Chains A and B, each alone.
Chain A
Amino acid sequence: MEMFYPEAFQQALSMVLTPTLFYWLAIGIFLGVGVGAMPGMSAATGIALMLPLSFFLDTAPALGLLMGLYKGAVYGGSIAAITFATPGTPGAAATTYDGYELTKQGKGRKALEMALYASITGDTLSDILTIFLAPALAIIALTFGPAERFLVAVMAFVLIGALGGKHPIKGLISASMGIFLATIGSDPVSLSPRMTFGFWWLRDGIGLIPMLIGIFAMSKMIEEVGLIAVMKKGMEKTKGAVDRITSTGPGLTIKEYLSCWKEMLIGTSIGSFAGMLPGLGATVGAFLSYSVAKQISPNRDKIGYGALEGVAAAEAGNNATVGPTLIPLLAFGIPGSASAALIGGGLALQGATPSPRMFELFPHIVYALFMILLLGNVFNLVIGRLVSRFYARLGLLPKNILVPLIMMMAIIGTYASRSNRYDVAVMLIIGLLGYCMRIAEIPSAPMVISFLLAPLMETSIRRALMISRGDWAQAFSSPLSIGLIVATVVLGFVSIWFQRKQMIG
């Protein structure tokens, strides 16, 4: 594999520099900021709902729509956090501390603008890191044989399970369930049906769209239906909070923005690391950045009491995970987070299934994705600047309209992708499973990620065993394999220890 393919780069340029891409990227960001601004919605829900639509678009516009949604939603979460002290997405929870304090002090507009600029700064710098790091790692990944690929997938499985939530065992149960669900359908070697429970429509396995929409959109809406019915939970936010944000107040000055450079740098570094490592993500990135900034920032005494520095660290921290979360996906074919799994799903629907040979087989798509990552930041800046104060009102949208609307979109989206009503049945069953997991506090992201990882694991191990003529010891005898086994065991223990320490702390 070469480090750079000039022809593919030119092809990517012609794919990206089109009005259609600009149009869908703008729509993605416009919708994404809105999804992020609505408490209870997440980037994953928004991307899952738009996945069927992306199937009908060309590759670059489809990636523009999905990446725009992702970037927009991660930033949009800060709007509700600053306006109502209710984070729109879990990744924006750390923004609440200083953001809402600033709103109470009448500086909500400053906080919103700081959140936007810090998000764009963190996102852009981490995207540049992704563009340099992903191809280098992909070259390393290509030297791996099937046994090593299997072991890397096992390592990701352990990390995703162990770091997937506050209770590592539940994360591992979820990840194991994902492996089981991926075996429903046909055996990849003999193509004979297995685990179909006698249903002919399960012979192709569980489709990607029903799985993703069921887990990320339908299960959430079923939970909302349950909560509305049982707790009569409505929107308790007052219009006063929105008025404080939407009224004209002093905006952020360049001096104030530049004064937070250290916190943005902390957020970018920590967020990038959290994004790269499977199982972490925007929430961990934001909280780690915020707590580190609180300890080492020159203005640490002010952070927590309405300081722009706190908003800058948290927002740079969560948006800096967006690009790097694609590194394991593009280099190893391993989605490191729920959103990366959805982007991977979008790529698979376009016929470019993420794998360790992604750079070799589809360099033009990878380059187009890199360009979209950078372009998305410009669009996010402009659209975010225009709509953030208007979107602050989205938090007041009644859930009794929103919930049936999203359920309807989930049903139609699943149906429209293949005009197959059994896809809807699978989506509804998965939605119910996701709901049960939600109430049992079993994280669903590890299940989806391992569902996507399982085919890679199965085909790699079977290939490795064919090469070694069924000898397991010989299959994993290379020094690299032994190193990966040791690293997996060590990482598993370290991540469980890290979780325990965090819980005690």
Chain B
Amino acid sequence: MVIKKVSINNRILGLILILLFVFLLLYVYNSDWAFRRARDNVALGFFPAIGLGLSILFALFLLIDRHSREVPKLLENPDARMFYIPLFAIILSWLYLLFINWIGFIIGSILALTPAIFILGFDSIKKALISAALISLVIYAIFTLLGIMLPKGLLI
């Protein structure tokens, strides 16, 4: 069975954005702080609502303007990997921060950078390890010389 890929044009993008902004506007409306007034008599929810209201207004234009059927280049044939690989990269980045706080900057960075360099296309794991070690040491040296505190862990 052939699965037809759907391209995401500006109109669909506009709809997604409107849904997102309306959801946020509902969050503001339902918050207990939204109608509380500051001493200048302005409600706390007024400016967040202005930002969201303008966003909804312009997203509506995205549905009807003459570019509405245009498709952004990277969304012509959207690949699922375009969405989960970046998400994966974000999660790994967060884990890296926790990792260097736990194990220490140099060892943590070498352990995290080596597979990253290798997965992104380096031909040999040995070269990736050497590159990762060099990068980690150079950054450690620069930051230490500048007196900037790096995360400290169990090891170095």
Chain A: residues with CB nearer than 8 A to chain B? Answer: 53, 56, 167, 169-170, 172-173, 176-184, 187, 189-190, 192-195, 197, 218, 222-223, 225-226, 228-230, 232, 234, 398-401, 403-405, 407-409, 411-412, 415-416, 419, 421, 424-425, 428-429, 431-432, 435, 438-441, 454, 458, 462, 465-466, 470
Contacts and interface: CB of A to CB of B under 8 A. Distances in A.
B66 to A, nearest CB: 9
A226 B81 CA distance: 7
A398 B109 CA distance: 19
A176 to B, nearest CB: 4
Given A408-B139, A416-B150, A189 B42 contact: yes
Interface in B34-70: 34, 36, 38-42, 44-45, 47-48, 50-52, 54-55, 57-59, 61-62, 65, 67, 70
B29 interface: no
B120 A190 contact: no
Given A401-B131, A404-B117, A194 B44 contact: yes
A167 B70 CA distance: 11
B87 interface: yes
Interface of B: 10, 13, 17, 24, 27-28, 31, 33-34, 36, 38-42, 44-45, 47-48, 50-52, 54-55, 57-59, 61-62, 65, 67, 70, 72-75, 79, 81-82, 85-87, 89-90, 93-94, 96-98, 101, 109, 112-113, 116-117, 120-122, 131, 135, 139, 143, 146-151
Contact of B120 (A192, A225, A408, A428): A225
A231 to B, nearest CB: 9
Contacts of A403: 120
Given A177-B55, A400-B121, A416-B150, A408 B135 contact: yes
Contacts of A193: 33
B89 A225 contact: yes
Contact of A228 (B44, B52, B120, B151): B120
B51 A432 contact: no
Contacts of B67: 167, 169
Given A176-B51, A226-B86, A470-B41, A192 B121 contact: no
A428 B54 contact: no
Given A222-B90, A412-B143, A415-B97, 10 more contacts: A167-B70, A189-B38, A190-B36, A222-B89, A398-B122, A405-B113, A411-B97, A416-B148, A431-B90, A462-B42
Given A226-B81, A230-B79, A183 B48 contact: yes
A192 B93 contact: no
Contacts of B51: 176-183, 454
Nearest to A450: B51
A439 B72 contact: yes
A225 B88 CA distance: 10
Given A56-B148, A169-B61, A222-B90, A194 B48 contact: yes
Nearest to B73: A441
A425 B85 CA distance: 18
B40 A439 contact: no
Tell me the interface secondary structure of chain B in the complex: helix
Contacts of A194: 31, 33-34, 44-45, 48
Nearest to B148: A416
B40 A176 contact: no
A465 B58 contact: no
Contact of B139 (A170, A398, A409): A409
B81 A424 contact: no
A408 B85 contact: no
B149 A419 contact: yes
A438 B86 CA distance: 12
A411 B33 CA distance: 33
A190 B39 contact: yes
Residue among A218, A225, A424, A470 having the largest count of chain B Cβ atoms under 10 Å: A225
A479 to B, nearest CB: 25
A439 B96 contact: no
Contacts of B147: 56
Contacts of B45: 194
B40 A466 contact: yes
Given A169-B61, A180-B48, A229 B149 contact: no
Contact of B97 (A169, A232, A424): A424
Given A194-B45, A439-B82, A405 B135 contact: yes
Task: Kindly list the 6 A-B residue pairs having the minimum CB-CB distance in the complex, ordered from nearest.
Answer: A180-B51, A400-B120, A179-B51, A190-B38, A176-B54, A176-B55
A178 B47 CA distance: 12
A401 B117 contact: yes
Nearest to A180: B51
A176 B58 contact: yes
A405 B117 CA distance: 9
A234 to B, nearest CB: 7
A428 B42 contact: no
A199 B120 CA distance: 35
B33 A465 contact: no
Contacts of A399: 120
Given A194-B45, A441-B73, A400 B86 contact: no
A56 B81 contact: no
11 contacts: A56-B147, A173-B55, A176-B58, A178-B51, A179-B47, A183-B47, A187-B44, A222-B86, A225-B86, A400-B117, A415-B151
A459 to B, nearest CB: 10
B87 A432 contact: yes
Nearest to A427: B93
Contact of B40 (A178, A421, A440, A462): A462
A463 to B, nearest CB: 8
Given A183-B51, A189-B38, A412 B150 contact: yes
Contacts of B131: 401
